[in-house]
Structure 1
Amino acid sequence: MMQHRGIVGAPIATESKDGFRDRMRRITGSMLDEGALVTLNCRINGGKAPWFALRVWTGRERTVEKTLEEMGVRSLVPMRKGPDYRRRGRIIEGSMMPVIHGYVLVQILGQPEYLTGLQGVEHAIDVLGGCENPRRLSDKEVNRFNALACGGRYDFERRVEIVLTAGDRVLITDGPFYDMKAIVVTPSSKGYGDVVVSTSMMGREVPVTVPLASLEKL
């Protein structure tokens, strides 16, 4: 018991073996389970639930995707062939890697409580655009993006007929930042590979690394 200026009580949860992190994980799981079921019903009844981009720790994209799928939440990390390595005259084929590092696409109804639940998943950071006004992607756009990835459009070594320099204004044509304007920060001088761009969101500049093939010069 603790006493302070006439108030008598006990610290919350100090007598429970259930820690704060465990409780939050359980609440998060319940929210996602509910959101997944509602989303599934929406798809079965002919509706198209929107997709959202969940920002995660780079290198943990597939781990988060697997965790969400185990919870019954439909998620997707479009993949591409990474850069080839050249050693002692030999070319070592590049391994598969996410098209855009640090993001997992998630299909779930857009209620703030469900989106907040996504942030409780291990290795997740936040929802692109925020839980109150998140950036939405249509089912059609996500399917198109994934089909292009599977077809090799974003493979690191694939050459693209576009020349960009730092400061150029571009349009992002695919992926989580679909149809958003951006400024080139670090261009690719080789005609292939990735480009670092900066786009404005919620009053601040957001840097993102995207394939050269997903940009259109304005």
Structure 2
Amino acid sequence: MMMQHRELVGSPIANDGKDGFRERMRRITDGMLDEGALVTLNCRINGGKAPWFALRVWTGREKAVEKTLEDMGIRSLVPMRKGPDYRRRGRIIKGQMVPVIHGYVLVQLLPRPEYLAGLQGVEHAIDVLGGCEQPRRLSDAEVNRFNTLARGGEYDFERPAEIVVEAGNRVLITDGPFAKLTAQVVTPNRNRRGDVVVSVSIMGGEVPVTVPLALLQML
């Protein structure tokens, strides 16, 4: 469903009025995202391929942010996988579906800083990976591959992996928002399944992220 672009009021946001600063900022954010959604939709209809970005969000709120963006007409995606199985009183309880990488939502939007800045105003959103001026981009093909592998069970928690990692190992992240980046292992994993915490160097800083062991290759 395509949303109508809301007109923005031109008065300074710090002025006193019937609504407060938070409400005015919400309207500005919504206006930017509405405009970005319409322009991106037109780009797709006309044969263009808008890039994807990774929006960092509160852990546990990934699907809520995805729904908020979809309701605004912005294409978004949280690739899912089966989480860990639990054993209780001799029974195995199958794992529930969880995000492949906690704390991130993939968003397709034209790469204009004002549109990307608008994403940060969405409830439970934190920031755009790489920043709004030079964000880290993913292509349609990369996102489709990542989602296809996730849906096929490649990143399920209980799926056996081919590697064992120790703290300090250098690894390559093969797919997803951190695809083709090198990282340093923070927590060891000798189980050949499950997750591992790695530290990724990006924008001059270190970003800790928990990823499936199956998403890594040894360097």
TM-score (norm 1): 0.93
Q: Which residue of 1 aligns with 2:127?
A: 126
1:109 lines up with 2:110 in the alignment: yes
Q: How many residues align?
A: 207
12 and 199 in structure 1: CA distance in 2 versus 1, 3 angstrom threshold: closer
What stretches of structure 2 of length at least 5 have no aligned partner? 1-12
Superposed displacement of residue 13, structure 1: 2.8
Deviations along 1:74-131, one digit per CA (max 9) or x if unpaired, are 0000000000000111000110000000000000001000000000000000000000
Superposed displacement of residue 12, structure 1: 4.6
SS at match of 2:43: helix
Q: Which residue of 2 aligns with 1:198?
A: 199
Deviations along 1:166-185, one digit per CA (max 9) or x if unpaired, are 11110000110000000111
Among residues 8, 13, 16, which one is paired with 2:15 in the alignment?
A: 13
**Which one-letter code corresponds to 1:101 in the other structure?**
H
Deviations along 1:139-169, one digit per CA (max 9) or x if unpaired, are 1000000000000000000011111111111
SS at match of 2:116: helix
**Which one-letter code corresponds to 1:88 in the other structure?**
R
Structure 1 residue runs of 4+, over 2 Å off? 11-14
Q: Which residue of 2 aligns with 1:63?
A: 64
Give the greater-gyration-radius structure (CA).
1
What stretches of structure 1 of length at least 5 have no aligned partner? 1-10
Distance 1:49 1:107 in 2: 6
Give the share of equivalent positions with the same residue, in percent: 78
1:169 lines up with 2:179 in the alignment: no
CA RMSD, 1 decimal:
1.0
Distance 1:157 1:34 in 2: 42
Distance 2:158 2:18 in 1: 53
Q: Which residue of 2 aligns with 1:210?
A: 211
Distance 1:68 1:124 in 2: 11
1:183 lines up with 2:192 in the alignment: no
Q: Which residue of 2 aligns with 1:49?
A: 50
Distance 1:70 1:190 in 2: 40
Task: Identify the structure with the greater strand proportion.
Answer: 1
SS at match of 1:186: coil
Superposed displacement of residue 187, structure 1: 2.2
Q: Which moved more, 1:136-145 or 1:187-196?
A: 187-196
**Which one-letter code corresponds to 2:186 in the other structure?**
V
Deviations along 1:189-212, one digit per CA (max 9) or x if unpaired, are 211000100111111111110000
**Which one-letter code corresponds to 1:115 in the other structure?**
L
Q: Which residue of 2 aligns with 1:137?
A: 138
TM-score (norm 2): 0.93
